[in-house]
């Protein structure tokens, strides 16, 4: 079985561009996909709100770690 690591900025199912590029193929036979996103599910709603600059910077840096 093949293993594929997908590193992406958005949590699963949150960005149409990700669904178009790779999420539609995650159920492929014979391939084990692991999706790692920069932002976690609970952080996602705050990313596009006004303000919270410190949170956004910290969350992005943490995602690279």
pLDDT tens digits, residue range 22-55? 777 777 777 787 877 777 777 777 777 888 888 8
Beta-carbon contacts of residue 25 (< 8 Å; ≥ 6 apart): 33
pTM, two decimal places: 0.54
pLDDT tens sequence across 3-22: 888 787 777 777 777 766 77
Q: Is the pLDDT of residue 65 over 70?
A: no
- Phi, psi (deg, nearest 5) at residue 56: -65, -45
- Compute the Cα dihedral for 36, 37, 38, 43 and give only its sign: negative
Helix (H, G, I), strand (E, B) or coil at 43: coil
Q: How many CB atoms lie within 10 A of CB 37?
A: 19
What pLDDT sits at residue 48? 76
């Amino acid at each position: 079985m093949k293993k594929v690591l997908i590193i992406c900025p958005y949590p699963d199912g949150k960005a149409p561009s990700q669904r178009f590029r790779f999420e539609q193929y995650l159920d492929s036979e014979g391939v084990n996909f692991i999706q790692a996103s920069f932002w976690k599910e609970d952080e996602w709603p705050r990313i596009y709100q006004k303000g919270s600059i410190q949170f956004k910077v910290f969350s992005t840096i943490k995602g690279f770690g």
